[in-house]
Amino acid sequence: MSETRACEVPGRGGWSRREFLGATGMAMAGAALAGCTSTGPEAHREAQAEPIIDIHQHLGYSGRPDDVLLAHQRAMGVTLTVLLPAGRPSNTASTHFGVANGLQARALGVEACYEFACAHAREYRFAANEVPDLDDATRVIQRYLHRGAVMIGEQKFGVECDSPAMQRIYQLAERFGVPVLLHWQVGMYNHGFERFYKMLEKYPRVNFIGHAQTWWAHIDKAYQDDPKNLYPKGPVTPGGLTDRYLGDYPNMFGDLSAGSGLNALTRDEAFTRDFLKRHQDKLLYGSDCNDHTGREPECQGAKTIAAIRRLAPDKAVERKLLYENAKKLLRL
């Protein structure tokens, strides 16, 4: 991979005067563009009054054009978006021999996300990512952490969660003080969910963000891993493994995105209200949707925002889930 040009978005490394002036210009351009979106000035002012951070979006998702992504996020009322890149295309067991390339969603890689975030610094940040068992994986990730990446992920590969390759990534996250976002899907991605507590205990200074089907299915104590039942319905039996990870480990957080997150929120709303109250400091809004509208009924991300607003026990908790927790955890 070629070296990236020197263009940092706001991040941990700070800005030079030249970079600050360049970003200010991009922010002014972004402000002008925002006033022309289909959401209209009143909707934009309302979104600014109650900002939303989306920790989980993808560039090029299912072929979605960049201008459509920009309009989509604004239509949802999102004021800051984190782009999660794919790793490099690889024909390895960890990518299921190419199945997981592009995060199995045609998502673009870290260089593209970095460039997009530079060009839209007012509204976008980016994560760093790579196929974990490639020889230079940590070097690639480190390069982009130096350039302002706010987390590592989305780690969506067919590897053991406690493998040496993954532990090297956890160690890198510890050095840089960034979270790691993991896609849990039994039989496909990040194997060994039931023993992940060992990693939480071994790396207490690393913040982990859980995401996807297996993560959200395990809010239910009665759930048994089943690749054919990744979106379980009906009442939830309290005390599931995900619930315990969130409650027992200060360094475990949950990403509310995707169909799996929305399903978990809506399958048993009485359980959800208590779940959101108990874990109000540990859950973060993400969309992870590939539609083009950013509005209900087509947009799953918009439906997740609506579910949070409906089910959060009060306004203070709603603001934590949609904004404050992500701002604090990612230091945005």
Question: Is 237:190 a contact under the CB 8 Å cutoff?
Answer: no
User: For residue 25, what pLDDT is reported?
Assistant: 37
Q: Give the residue with greater pLDDT, 201 vs 29.
A: 201
- Closest of 254, 303, 319 to residue 76, by C-alpha: 303
Q: How far apart are the first and last CA of the chain?
A: 28
- Contacting residues for 238 by C-beta, under 8 A, at least 6 apart: 221, 271
Give the tens place of pLDDT for each residue, 94-149: 999 999 999 999 999 999 999 999 999 999 999 999 999 999 999 999 999 999 99
Per-residue confidence at 49, pLDDT binned at 50, 70, 90?
A: confident
Residue 170: both structure tokens together: 């956890």
Percentage of the chain beyond pLDDT 90 is: 85
Question: What are the start-end ranges of the E strands in 42-176?
Answer: 53-57, 80-83, 124-126, 152-155
Gap between the Cα atoms of 68 and 248, Å rounded: 40
HSE (CB half, 13 Å, CA atoms) of 182? 34
10-26: burial string, b at 16+ Cβ within 10 Å, e else: bbeeebeeebeebbeeb
Given a contact cutoff of 8 angstroms between Cβ atoms, the answer to whether 131 and 88 are in contact is yes
Q: What is the pLDDT of residue 37?
A: 35
* CATH superfamily, with its number, for domain 17-329: Metal-dependent hydrolases (3.20.20.140)
Q: pLDDT band for position 9 (50/70/90)?
A: low
Task: Please provide the size of the chain in residues.
Answer: 332
Rounded-to-integer distance, Cα 86 and Cα 104, Å:
9
pLDDT > 50? residue 330: yes
Measured CA angle at 132 (ends 128, 124), to 5 deg: 15
Q: What is the mean pLDDT of the chain?
A: 89
Nearest to residue 215, comparing CAs of 250, 182, 179?
A: 182
How many alpha carbons lie under 13 Å from residue 256 in its C-beta half-sphere?
34
168: helix, strand or coil: helix
For the stretch 268-285, pLDDT in tens is: 999 999 999 999 999 999
Interval 296-327: pLDDT, tens: 999 999 999 999 999 999 999 999 999 999 99
Q: What is the pLDDT of residue 118?
A: 97
Give the pLDDT score at 20: 34
Q: How far apart are CA 113 and CA 61, in angstroms?
A: 12
